[in-house]
Amino acid sequence: MKKILSFVLLGLLTVTLLPAQTDQFVSTTPSNKKVVLEEYTGVQCTWCPDGHRMANELKAQHPNDVFLINVHQGSFAANTYTTQFGNALANQAGVNSWPSGTVNRHVFSGSSTVLNRGDWNSAANQILNTSSPVNIAARGTLDWTTRELNLTVQLYYTADEANPTNMLNVAIIQDNVLGSQVGMSMNPAQVVGSQYRHMHMLRHLITGQWGEEITTTTQGSFVEKNYTYTIPTSMGSPNAIPAPVEDLHFIVFVAQGHQEILTGCEAEITNVNLPALYPRLYSLSNTTANECNNEATVRANVLNAGSEAITSLTMEYAVANGTPMTFNWTGNIAPSGNENIDLPVLYVNTNVNQQVKARITAVNGQAYDGAQLTVAVKKYLATSDGAMTIKIKTDQYASETSYKIYGPNGNVVQQSSNFTNSSVNEFAFNPTEFGCYRLQVLDSYGDGISNGYIRVYDANNTMLFSIAGSGFTSESNSMIKFTSVGIADIENDNEMVVYPNPANNMVHISGMDNVQMVEVFNLQGQRVAVESGNVHEIAVSGLASGMYILRVTTDEGVRSCRIAKN
C-alpha cells in the first residue's frame, strides 16, 4: 500500500511542475535551435547592401527559423540609426569590418563570434541542426492609439541548460526606414527611387543591454515574463527618427549570459485600435514604356494599414516641380493588403534625370494628408540614321552581363554575352529597317555594372547617350529611333550621283570616296539589299518595281536618296 501511495504522490509532483495548459502557448516538445543573425552595418558601407541581400536570402530559405537584427554601428553608420547598445554588442563580438555579423553569438572558430557575410549561411545551417535545451514563444498586443505594447514571453526547458543563468532579451526592430545608402545597387529589392529601404533595424532593447536574468534553467522548468512598454514616437541615439507602429516588430531570444544565444522567435502581435482609414504610399518605381517617345510611367504601391477596406484614392503627382496633377483610382485594397497602381502617362524630357513626386490626398472620399515620395525618372532615347556602335564597360564580373536588341516588331535582332572583365566591349549595330529599337542590358546578379557604363555612338562616332552602370540593377532599357532623316535635302546634292534612275539591274554611285556600305530600303523601312566595303554599285534586279531609298555610308557620314526600280 505504501508503494502505491508513493507512486501516486510522485505522479502528482510531476504534474505540478508542468504549466497549466490553458495559459501555456510555448511548446514542450524538444526542438532544434532557431537562428538570430545580428548584422553590423552602416549607410556609408559600400558592401553592406550585399550583406543585407544575403541575410534576406537566408531568411527566405528559413522564414520561421531565422530572425534578423541589423545593428547600425561604427564609423560607417549614421547617427540617426545607431542605438545606445550597438557599440557594446560590437565590442563583444570583435567587429572590425562591415558588413559582418554573428550567428547566435556562437564561436565557430578561433575566439571571436564575428563572421564575414559569406559564412553566415553555413553557420546558420549548423545552428539549425543543433538541438536546443529551451523553447521560446511570445505573444502580445500593440495599441496604435496609446502605442502601448503588452508582451508575454514563455520559456520551457526541454533539457538541463549548461549555464544556470540565462538572459532573456526583447528587441524592437523597425522596417521601412527610407534613407541614403552607398552601394544600394547591390540589393535592388530595397531601392526606392533614389533612396534605400532599411530593414530589420535595431531600435531598442526593452530588457536592457544584455537582457533579464533567468535562473530556473533545469529540464521541465517553465518561465513566463510579462512586459509593458510605451513605444516612443521616435527612437534612436543620439538623433531620433520616427517609429511608425506598423513598421515595428519584436525579436525575442534567450542567451547564456552575454554571449551564446540558445534560440529565438518573433513575437506574435495583435494590433488594436487601428485607424479606420490608413493608406500608405509604400513605394514609387519607374516603369517607363519601351517606345521611342517622351512618355514615361510610374507605378505606386499602396499599403492599407487601416482596419477598413480602401475603395477609392486620390493621388497628387508632379514631374520636375511642375504643376501638380490629380489621379482618381477605384478598386479594393483589403486591410493589411497592398496594390500596385499605375499613374497616368507622364511626359518627360528624354536623357535627363527628373524627379516625379506623388502623395495621397484623399481616401474613400475623405481628405487625407499622405506623406510624399519621389522617384527619379530618366528615359534614354536617341535618333540615328546610320550604323551604330555599342560600347559596354563591364566590372570584374563580366560573365553576369549580356545584351539584346529588339527590332520594331519586337523580335531580337542582335544579342551577345561574350564580355571580358573590366574592359570596354564594342559591338557594331546596323539596323535593317526604320523604326523603334530597344537596347536591353542585363545583369544576372542584379547589382548593375559597378564603375561601368553603356554607350551608343553613331557612324560619326558621336555619342548618342550614356548610361552609368550603377544606374540600374538587373535590367537597363534604352530606345533608339532609326530614321531616314535628311533624304529630301540630299536628293538635291550634286556631290553624289546615282544612275541609272530608274534602274533595271544595277545602280551605280559616283562622287563618293571611302564608301563603307551601300544599302537599299523599301518605303516600309526594311532593308532589302546591302553591299559592304568600298563599293560603288548595288544590284536591284531582284526587287519588285517601285520606289526605294538608297543609303551610302562613308567615313564622312551618311547620304541618302530615292531611287526607282522598273
Question: Do the strands 381-384 and 475-482 form a parallel or antiparallel pair, or are they unpaired?
Answer: parallel
Domains and CATH numbers, the chain: 25-272 (2.60.40.10), 279-376 (2.60.40.10), 381-482 (2.60.40), 487-565 (2.60.40.3080)
- 3-state class percentages of the chain: helix first, strand second, coil last, to nearest 5: 15, 45, 40
| pLDDT tens track for 80-100 | 999 999 999 999 999 999 999
Average pLDDT over residues 28-38: 98
Percent of the chain exceeding pLDDT 90 equals 62
Backbone torsions φ then ψ of 536, nearest 5 degrees: -135, 25
pLDDT digits (tens, 9 = 90+) for 127-173: 999 999 999 999 999 999 999 999 999 999 999 999 889 999 999 99
* pLDDT over 70 at 9, yes or no: no
DSSP 242-297: E--GGGEEEEEEEEETTS-EEEEEE-EEEEES--S--EEEEEEEE---SSSSSEE-
Q: With the CA atoms of 326, 332, 336 and 337 taken in that order, what torsion angle do they form, in degrees rounded to the nearest 10?
A: -90
Average of per-residue pLDDT values in the chain: 89
Contacts of 492 (CB under 8 A, 6+ apart): none
Cα dihedral sign, 473-453-443-420: negative
Each residue of 174-189: pLDDT tens digit? 999 999 999 888 898 8
pLDDT over 70 percentage in the chain: 93
Contact in structure between 430 and 521 (CB atoms under 8 Å): no
**pTM over 0.85, yes/no:** no
**Residue 55 backbone phi and psi in degrees, to 5:** -65, -40
Of the listed ranges 5-19, 272-286, 427-441, 484-498, the least confidently predicted one is: 5-19
**Computed from CA positions of residues 202, 204, 210, 215, in that sequence, does the dihedral angle turn out positive or negative?**
negative
First-residue to last-residue Cα distance in the chain: 124
As a residue count, the chain comes to 566
In this prediction, residues 263-282 reach a mean pLDDT of: 95
